[in-house]
Structure 1
Amino acid sequence: MEKANFIKIEAIQIAEAFNIKKLRAEFGIVPHSSSPSEIFYTLTNKKRYLYIFDYGVVVFANFTPRKKNEFIDFIKSYASTIVDLELFEEYRIEIDENITKVIIKNDYVTVPFIDSSVLKIVMLNIAQSVALDYYEALTDDLITSSKKYIQELEHRGKLSISKKNLLKYIGKVLNVKNSIVDNLYILDDPNLVWDNEELHLLNRHLKANFDINPRFKDLDYRLDIVEDNLRLFTDVLNVRESSRLEWIVIILIFLEIMIALLFH
């Protein structure tokens, strides 16, 4: 049997978002395909491939480390916020003309042929997986910080966080949730699988392999837990503010009585 060929895939979360429109206009290479949210390039006689998503992920195929690092440095100028986390996944596509159906493993997929559609499906699913890694890291941080406040309530019976800092924390949680909601489309099936049964099966099996849908449901569940905690913290602070206002009113009434007694 002839030795199979390989295409190495690397997906990296570089930023929170990319300006896709500006990048497409200034990159200087006509894309193979594009939309308002993504761009797919074939480079150097179709031996290298590049898939860029507006949620901050870049997927490289057959890139050398030098070429990959050069492009990462270039695309950072189109990023809204650089992600300072090492979030990446490696995968490979094995092309074996002797097989008749796709074989999917944890770290590679074997296909009987390769074209731009197959590449896009594989690269898209890896991009989705890395994006979920990023949101999972954000929610882990939120849950850890909320757990600290819950433990403080348990041991001290009160919260030391100020109202200003709580509002900042609420803003951070809502920002993460809104970002996830804005990027819900990343879980949608791409248009090219609708009329192609083979691509549809490949996409479905890759989603299952990367646990895309279960991970998103778990992410949404954990965000709901954080929101429930926020409501609890807000109620505690409102009680604290009400108690403070009551004491202020009592002190003012006492001062008014004392002044009245002194002048009469």
Structure 2
Amino acid sequence: MTSNISRFLWYNCKKLSHEDCLKKNLHSSFHFVRKHSPFTLNCTARNNRRILCRNVLNVKEKDLSQACRMLTTRVSDVETKGRPVVRTRTKQPALAAAKAPKEKMQVCIAYTTAEEYDLEGLETDIRRLDIFRVMKMPQDAFDVVHVRHDPEPQSDGGQVDRRSTQGDIFFFRDGMVVFWNVEDQTMREVRQMLEQYERNPYNIALVEWENEQMNYSYTQNSTLLSNGDIQLSSSAAELDMILEKYTFSNAMALSVKLAIWEAWLDDYVDSIMYIPELLREGKRLKMSRPKVMQKIGELFALKYRINLGSDLLITPDFYWDREHLEGLYLKTCRFLNIPGRTTVVNEKLRHCQELAELMRTHLSERHSLRLEWMIIALIAIEVLFEIVRIFIRTFTEPDNTREQN
């Protein structure tokens, strides 16, 4: 991509022959990109082109080539950083960009595998397993099942040793699962067990791609979120620590669910992005009325899930009388950029809805036009029959008159 930008800038340098290409201030006149976003590269290229267009004078080909080679070298520096140029998603998965766990830090990771879980059946079967213990949750947290995983016998050392071996799993009714300090093999086994309780499971590749991962550790201070790392208070009571983990899990689960909806919306946009171009070129929209209604239905179903069927726009009732947990929940949501991503998604939904309404109006007008032509054709046929009838009567009546005479 950067090579194309370099050729683009070289072509404009050669074409416009700018005076600054001969001077020492060329380096300060141009803006050399230091960020790695393709959008930034394109904007920088357009800005440099405007700089070239300010004063057009004749220059020597040798000096011009030297200046443009310098420009090409500076732009190509971006290519050597080793970072991906293309970023197709609104939210990059946390696992791909996650920091390596620091010393004495453990990992918390969230997945969403289905539209919904059968929590009652899941809880019943988990109670039969020896390595899992179903922990008690408050009555107003009825849409989650908390499971304690203890693969190794507890030592006599105390609380710290237990926490280094124990893991926690939170199953949310909306199809999310969050693992705290659980080994990869155990996570795979749990997710495999979840398959029989899933309703409308998601694509496995999408599940693996869209996840959220955070590091956490224990501290003597109060629980907080600092620089993207969770610090849990080691002096907190057992129930308080469980609720704090549940709070962080709730925000992470909501983030991965939103990531799935973002991916769905991207697929939806890709499926209709050709329509404005067809309309601009005056071509016929080859889409039937049932197909248009299906697209409108998909759009409204996604809009319902995001705005009415989730907690993206409102804080859950669970935190209304728990101010400390509410603060942790809101801070985690802000760190995961859930409010901003929700705004972007709703803006995309609004534009998609406008396009869907445009498609529906276009098909309605086309249907009305077809009906009008059908009516015109029927009238024309009726007029034709009337002309034939008059023609026949006109030429047959004189013959009948002569026969009577």
Structures share fold, TM-score greater than 0.5: yes
Shift of the 247–191 alpha-carbon distance from structure 1 to 2, 3 Å rule, reads: closer
Name the structure 2 match of 1:105.
Answer: 227
In 2, distance between residues paired with 1:8 and 1:78? 25
Q: Report the more deviating stretch, 123-132 or 14-23.
A: 14-23
Name the structure 2 match of 1:32.
Answer: 136
Residues 32, 42 of structure 1: 8 Å contact kept? no
Deviation at 1:75, TM superposition (A): 1.0
Residues 110, 213 of structure 2: 8 Å contact kept? yes
2:310 maps to 1:184 = yes
Deviation at 1:237, TM superposition (A): 0.8
Residues 307, 313 of structure 2: 8 Å contact kept? no
Asked which structure has the greater CA Rg, the reply is: 2
Name the structure 1 match of 2:74.
Answer: none
Residues 5, 96 of structure 1: 8 Å contact kept? no
Q: Which runs of 5+ in 1 are unaligned?
A: none
Q: What secondary structure, in the 3-state scheme, does the structure 1 residue paired with 2:117 have?
A: coil
* 1:210-249 mapped onto 2 (5 Å cutoff): 210-249=336-375
Read off the aligned partner of 1:260 and give its amino acid letter: E
2:116 maps to 1:17 = yes
Shift of the 178–190 alpha-carbon distance from structure 1 to 2, 3 Å rule, reads: closer
Q: What secondary structure, in the 3-state scheme, does the structure 2 residue paired with 1:183 have?
A: coil
Q: What secondary structure, in the 3-state scheme, does the structure 1 residue paired with 2:269 have?
A: helix
Question: In angstroms, what is the RMSD of aligned CA positions?
Answer: 2.5
In 2, distance between residues paired with 1:94 and 1:74? 28
Deviations 1:149-207 (A, max 9, x none): 11111123442211121111111111111222343335544556444444333222212
Shift of the 77–186 alpha-carbon distance from structure 1 to 2, 3 Å rule, reads: farther
Shift of the 36–101 alpha-carbon distance from structure 1 to 2, 3 Å rule, reads: closer
Name the structure 2 match of 1:76.
Answer: 195
Residues 134, 148 of structure 2: 8 Å contact kept? no
Read off the aligned partner of 2:355 and give its amino acid letter: N
Q: Percent identity?
A: 21
* 1:144-159 mapped onto 2 (5 Å cutoff): 144-159=270-285
Deviation at 1:240, TM superposition (A): 0.5
TM-score by length of 2: 0.59
Read off the aligned partner of 1:13 and give its amino acid letter: T
Read off the aligned partner of 1:201 and give its amino acid letter: G
In 1, distance between residues paired with 2:143 and 2:343? 23
* 1:61-72 mapped onto 2 (5 Å cutoff): 61-72=180-191
Shift of the 185–153 alpha-carbon distance from structure 1 to 2, 3 Å rule, reads: same
